[in-house]
Structures are given as C-alpha cells and as structure tokens.
Structure 1
Amino acid sequence: MSRLPLAEAEALPAFLKEMHDGAGAQDWSTRHVARAFAAHPDLLERYLSFYYPFHSNDGVDGALEPRLKELVRLRIATLNGCKTCKAARLDPDHVTEDEAARGVDTVAEGGSFSPREKAAVRLAELMAENHHAFDDDTMRELRAQFSDREILELMMMAGQYIGFGRMLAALQLETVSCPI
C-alpha cells in the first residue's frame, strides 16, 4: 500500500486523470503514481515534460541515441528493484523484448551490445551501486566512447532514472500486482 494517500481518480486534475485513465488494465503503478501526485500535480507534469523528450530525443537535441538510454534505464530498474521501471517498455522499436526482459542485465557478459552500450551500462551500475568509486580511470574509459556532451547527458539521465525509481519504491507506488 502506498505511503502517501491516493486521491480518488474522479478528483484528479486533467493531466493526472489522463495519466491514470490511460494506464493499462494491469498498470496499477501508473495509477498509483497519478493518484499520489494529486498533492503536487505540477511537479510530476514538469518532471515528465523533461524526462520523456530527453529519453526519446522527441523534440530535443539529445546527444545520445534513445536505445542507449533505454538500456541504461532498464539496467537501473533492475538494480533499483523497481518493478514499474523494469516492466515499462519505453523504446520497443530499438530495444527488443529479449534485451529488455533479461539481456540488458547481462551486458557485462558480452552478447550483441556495442562498446558504447557496454560502457553506458557499466556507468549506470557504478552510479547506482557505488558512485563514490567513480574515478579518473572511469572518466578516461567514458571519454574513449563518448563526447563530454554525451557524458553529461548520460550521467543526468542515469541519475534521474535512479532517483525516480527509488522514490517509487520508497513510497510503495511501484507495486504492480495489487489493485486499489
């Protein structure tokens, strides 16, 4: 059960009502999020107005390919233990269901991932598990694969994936199997 009160769906502001009603029949977590954010709807709407365009490069000058960002998001979802994030498929055109379901968690083992993708996922793991271990060697490895602009975007996206997923878990909004 959510650690915040969940507003009744009928009382939600338009943005949250659309989000709630547009969620799939089994997507309880999206409905939970919409209802919990009734206490501060502008916060979620403005956050998502940054998140989605930069995740997909939709109308923004993103430095990184959406596939790379989706692989990072999915790896962080596993590390965070966020069921909502792990179940979501935000870029099905560029990340196969097999990669999304299990492949991204085995990037270190090789497979069909590019050196850039492997480096991005390693950075995501480092940021999610031990960001204090980020050192000059880590930066050299990143700069071998990415421009400074790309590194900034990669770290910014990874940081917000980590934070949002952990917030969902802490507030118990990411439970996907218990209807309210």
Structure 2
Amino acid sequence: MPHVHLIDREKVDPSLTKLLGGPLDGVIRGLAYQPERLKAWLRFYSPLIWEDGALEVELKELVRLQIAAYYDCDVCQSVRNPLVEERGMTEAKVECVARPGLLGSESLSDRERTALAFSWKMTVDHQDLNASDFEKLRVHFNEEQIIELGWLASAFIGFGRLTRGFDLLDL
C-alpha cells in the first residue's frame, strides 16, 4: 500500500493521463500532486533512458535493469526499451545484470562489465568510488560518456528509492 495518498485519476494533469492504467499508474498518481515537477522529470528522464546519447541505449538498458534488480522492481524489470530488442539485445545479457554474480559472463563485453561494475558500486557503495574506478572506466569511455553513466545511474538509483520508498509500484 502506498505511503502517500494517490491522487484521483480524474485530477491528474491531462498531459499525464496517457501514463495511467499501466504499470506506472501508482507512480504517476503518487507524484502527480506536483505535475510541473513530474513533467520536468519525465522530460529529463525519458530521453536519458530511451534514446541514444553519449551512451548507446543497449548499455543504458543494462544499467537500468541492473539497478531495477537491486531494487527488486518487477515493473522495471519487465519493461524493455523497444530499440534494444530491435538491435538484438539478448535475454542472456539481461540475466547477467539481474544477478550480479554473473557479470563475468561471456555474454557481456569488457566495456559492458566495466560500466556495470561502476553502476553497481554507485548503487550499493557510492562512497567507496575512487580514482581506480574512473581509470577503469577511461579504458572504454570518454569523459562525456562517464558523465552520462553517472547521470544514468543516479537517476535510476534516486527514482528507485523514491518509488520503492513511497511504495508506488506493484499496486
């Protein structure tokens, strides 16, 4: 049961109603008390995760699914970016990120393993990040990509804490 009252569906900002009725219904209704802030978040969040940027969507999807697994978010883990499916991302890769012990799998490239090790550390022990972690990233990523990886992980971590902490998922 959500820890905040869900706004009535008929009171949700009309521009957000297309998101109601699906797996994000509780999230939208829980956060719709501040519609402008929610819309601003979605303008930031949506292209960050659903479009190629400094990082390709396939890697973004792996990071998203890894953090979703940490938060045990069935909704987040069940959704796939259609682009990654079109581009042939396999369920073997998805399985690797859902279970951290499989990060050494041959299904993942060294580049993917490096990004996932970094995002995992941001998720579970961010205060332990150090120069060595960034040196490892620089083998595969430029500064712009490292910054985007940081934005990506922090967005997923923060949103995961908000939605799970407020119990807005799996209603």
Per the normalisation by structure 1, the TM-score is 0.84
Residue 56 of structure 1 aligns with which residue? 50
Pair 1:98–1:8, CA change in 2 (3 A): farther
Distance 2:92 2:141 in 1: 26
Amino acid at match of 2:96: G
Q: Percent identity?
A: 32
Is 1:87 the counterpart of 2:78? The answer is yes
1:172 positional shift: 0.3
- Native 8 Å contact 1:82 1:166 kept in 2: no
Residue 16 of structure 1 aligns with which residue? 16
Residue 47 of structure 1 aligns with which residue? 41
Distance 1:108 1:96 in 2: 15
1:54 positional shift: 2.0
Deviation readout 1:13-51 (Å, 9 max, x if unpaired): 112211104x2xxx2xx1111211221011111111111
Q: What secondary structure is seen at the aligned counterpart in 1 of 2:124?
A: helix
Distance 1:46 1:132 in 2: 29
Per the normalisation by structure 2, the TM-score is 0.89
Distance 2:134 2:35 in 1: 38
Amino acid at match of 1:55: I
Residue 30 of structure 2 aligns with which residue? 36
Deviation readout 1:58-91 (Å, 9 max, x if unpaired): 6xxx111110011001001111222322222124
1:52 positional shift: 1.4
Which of 152, 159, 164 does residue 164 from structure 1 map onto?
159
Distance 1:42 1:98 in 2: 39
Which sections of structure 1, spanning at least 5 residues, go unmatched?
none
Of the structure 1 ranges 85-94 and 153-162, higher mean CA displacement relative to structure 2 is found in 85-94
Distance 2:119 2:70 in 1: 9
- Native 8 Å contact 1:19 1:34 kept in 2: yes
Distance 2:133 2:12 in 1: 45
Residue 111 of structure 1 aligns with which residue? 106
Residue 60 of structure 2 aligns with which residue? 69
- Native 8 Å contact 1:77 1:86 kept in 2: yes
Residue 140 of structure 1 aligns with which residue? 135
Residue 69 of structure 2 aligns with which residue? 78
Count of aligned residue pairs for this structure pair: 166
Q: CA RMSD in A?
A: 1.7
- Native 8 Å contact 1:64 1:150 kept in 2: yes
Distance 1:105 1:75 in 2: 5
